[in-house]
Amino acid sequence: MRVCFLTNNPNLCSTSRILQSWLLLAPSRGLTGCVVGQAQGDLALWMKSHDIPFLADPMPWPSKRRPWVAFYHALKVARWAKKHRVEIIHCNEHDVYPFAKLVNRLLRLPMVCHVRFKIEREFAEWCFHGKYQPDALLWTSHQQKADSAAAVAGLVPESQQQVVHLGIDLATFGNDAELGRQFRRQHQISDEDILVGTASPLRPRKKVEDFIELISRLAAVNPDVVGMIAGGEIAGDEAYRQRIEQQIQATRLGGRLRWVGLLEPIEPFHLACDISISTSEYETFGNSVCEAMACSKPVVAYEGGSVGEVVGDAGVIVPTGDIDKLTLAVEKLTSDARLRKSLGLKSRLRVASEFSPASSLQRVLSTYQALTRK
C-alpha cells in the first residue's frame, strides 16, 4: 500500500516525530510512504537520508480571488503522487486539508485527516461539508475529540472518527544518558544543580510566564535550582517573546534562569533535566511531555487539555493556572531525588505501554485497509 503524507512541519519535532516513526516502521508493515512538505528543512534532509521520496510545495489554501495559484500547486502535487502510485492521501495536520481537497479532486483517492488541535465549527463547516468530508478523521486524544465534538457534529459521522495517540519510539529515543551529561557540561550545569526545564515555543497559550514565576519561587528557597526554557520564537508572537525576555531579566537570576531558544534535537535537553514542566493552557496531546517521559523524567504539569490524559498517574497534574499547587508539587520533587527517579521510571513505562508508534501505526494501517476495500 502506498500512502502520501502531507505536512506543514519542516522540522524534526512536534507533529513530525510520529510521522518519522511511522515511515521507518512502514516497510515491515507492507506500507510505502512518500511525503509532501510545505518547505525544505530538517525533515526534508531526514527524508533524503532515508531514501523516502519528498516534494517541497507551499500547498496554498484555495482562494476565490486567485484560484489558479492553488490549482497550479495541486496539479503539481497530484502528478507527483500519481508518479509514486499513491493509493491513500494522509494529511498529517488538519491545516493542510483545504489544499489536499483540491489535490484529491484530481486523484479521487481515500483521504485521512489527522487533527492536531481543537477545531472550531466555522473551520469544520468550510473544510468537511458535504462531499469534502474526510474518509477518516483521526484525533490525537480522547479529550481533543470531546472538545471538538460540536465542531464536527453532522459533518463527519462518528463511525469515521477514531483516536490515534501519538508516541515515541523508545528504541531510538531517551536511551543515551551521556547526551544529557554532555548537555549539562555544555551549559555549565553542575551535578549538584537541579535542572527544571520546559520545552515550549514562546506563544501565549504556553503560559511561559508561569514557568518563570515558578523558577523565581523555587530559586528563592533552593540555591541549587536552575530553570531552562527550550523553544523558539513563533512568527506573529514576537511581542510575547520580548515580554518573556523582559520577565527573565526582571528576575535577576542570571544563569539560574535561561532561555536557550529552539533546540533540535531536543532529546539531550530532556535527558539533562531533573524535572520537566508543562504550563500550557491547552494541548491536544503534548509531544514535549511525552518526550520528557520517554527520557525517564518526572513531569509536573497543568491539566492543559489532554496533558493529564498523557501523564496519567506517572507524574503530577495540577489545575491549569494554579501556580501555588504547581510550586508545591515541584518543591517536593526538588527535595526528594528518590521520588524523582521512581516517577521518571514510571513515566517511561507509561510511554512504552500507552504511546507506542508501532501500535498507533497498526491502527492507522487498519483504517487504510478498510478504506481501500470499499
CA dist 198 → 75, 77, 212, 251 (Å)? 42, 38, 10, 17
Task: Say if residue 189 is exposed, middle or buried (CB neighbours under 10 Å; 0-12, 13-18, 19+).
Answer: buried
Architecture per CATH, 2-167+356-372: 3-Layer(aba) Sandwich (3.40)
The pLDDT of residue 13: 79
The pLDDT of residue 294: 97
For 187, other C-beta atoms within 10 Å of its C-beta total 17
Question: How far apart, in whole angstroms, are the C-alpha atoms of residue 215 and residue 196?
Answer: 8
For the chain, list residues with pLDDT below 50: none
The pLDDT of residue 374: 66
Q: How is residue 352 written as a grid cell?
A: 512504552
The pLDDT of residue 14: 82
Question: How far apart, in whole angstroms, are the C-alpha atoms of residue 299 and residue 148?
Answer: 26
pLDDT tens digits for range 231-274: 999 989 999 999 999 999 999 999 999 999 999 889 999 999 99
Greatest C-alpha distance within the chain: 64
Q: Are 260 and 286 in contact (CB under 8 A)?
A: no
How long, in residues, is the chain?
A: 374
Is pTM, for the whole model, over 0.85?
A: yes
The pLDDT of residue 12: 84
Q: What is the DSSP letter of 60?
A: P
Question: How far apart, in whole angstroms, are the C-alpha atoms of residue 246 and residue 155?
Answer: 45
Looking at the chain, the domain(s) classified CATH 3.40.50.2000 span 2-167+356-372, 177-354
Mention every residue, 6+ apart, whose C-beta is less than 8 A from residue 58.
Answer: 38, 39, 73
Question: How far apart, in whole angstroms, are the C-alpha atoms of residue 162 and residue 365?
Answer: 13
CATH 3.40.50.2000 for domain 177-354? yes
Could you give the 3-state DSSP secondary structure of residue 317?
A: strand
CA dist 90 → 135, 180, 371 (Å)? 10, 35, 12
**Among all chains, which residue has been given the C-alpha cell 515555543?**
201
Q: Are 303 and 320 in contact (CB under 8 A)?
A: yes
The pLDDT of residue 44: 96
pLDDT tens digits for range 310-349: 999 999 999 999 999 999 999 999 999 999 999 999 999 9
Helix ranges, the chain (H)? 15-25, 42-49, 67-83, 97-107, 121-128, 142-147, 149-152, 177-186, 208-221, 238-251, 267-272, 287-294, 307-311, 323-334, 337-354, 357-372
Q: Are 302 and 319 in contact (CB under 8 A)?
A: yes
Q: How is residue 81 written as a grid cell?
A: 503522487
The pLDDT of residue 64: 87
CA angle 314, 317, 323 (to 5 degrees): 145
